[in-house]
Amino acid sequence: MPATTPPPRELHERIIDWFGVHRRSLPWRDDPAPWRVMVSELMLQQTPVVRVLPVFEAWMERWPTPADLAAEPSGEAVRAWGRLGYPRRALRLHAAATAIVADHGGEVPSTYEELLTLPGVGDYTAAAIASFAYGRRAVVLDTNVRRVFARVVEGVQYPAPTVRRAERDLATSLLPDDEDRAAAWAAATMELGALVCTARSPRCEACPVADLCRWRAAGYPEHDGPPRRGQAWHGTDRQCRGALMAVVRDADGPVAPEVVAASWSDAAQRERCLDSLLDDGLLDLTPDGRLTLPG
């Protein structure tokens, strides 16, 4: 393995140039208005681009501004979220839109610090909005970026399960000083991880920095950290919650409990998941005991 990390300027030039040729045309990238970027970032958390695209387009047509979304009940956001999964993200986006209207004049804040004050906006999302929507210099560390840095610079197959101080310091040291270049770097490294330096089948022959990659130079050593967990689905509480939500979401009005019950056979799991949906605010009970989306 090379004794030193690849020269940052060389990485910047090659990866940003590669991005200029190979970047995908995506609606939130082609028109990076702040609200569009924010909606896309919430939707893309743990959900592939192909599933997000139709929901994003329908969402933006219905709610082109934060004020449009904030004016409707949160249950409508949950309904429009459809089958993207993790529907609490819809509630967070509605809460963020409400805060944007109340505290920021209806405009998505432009600084990392202000963005962090919004409901449901954490470190990554705040940095991504600041960078992609406003061209700010920010450390954007999603799964794809972290994997690129782990392989090219650190020489390991996968990053740690969570972001550590050393990893953030490394990402900060690699960030170009110029704001425009830093924003391009954030988008380019993310795209490289999504299209080329993928988790399971990296296409090293298509990588613009293959000859600089420490993991490749070391002979592709296998991951020796904590076991990486796959995302189970069948028979899990996630699947059960999704099935219960689908019944209520697709109905024209409140749904009787027995109708919801018919969607899942395991009674104990069904009741546990139903309680969790009520606790999370994703479902409400009407006075006569029927289930509905939050008002």
The neighbouring-strand residues paired with 255 are 291
**Tokens found for residue 114:** 């202000």
Handedness of CA 168, 170, 174, 176 (dihedral sign): positive
Q: By C-alpha distance, which of 102, 118, 117, 152 is closest to 39?
A: 118
The DSSP output letter for 288 is T
**Tokens found for residue 109:** 């804040």
| DSSP per-residue codes, 108-132 | ---SHHHHTTSTT--HHHHHHHHHH
Q: Is 179 one of the catalytic residues?
A: no
Active-site residue (options: 10, 13, 41, 167): 41
**Tokens found for residue 159:** 């990053």
Question: What are the φ/ψ torsions at residue 292 (nearest 5 degrees)?
Answer: -150, 165
Q: Using CA atoms, how far apart are residues 239 and 233, in angstroms rounded to an integer?
A: 6
Q: Give, in order, the Cα–Cα distances in Å from 89 to each of 41, 46, 86.
A: 10, 11, 6
Q: Using CA atoms, how far apart are residues 193 and 215, in angstroms rounded to an integer?
A: 14
Give yes or no for a contact between 130 and 136, defined as CB atoms under 8 angstroms apart: yes
Enumerate the active-site residues.
41
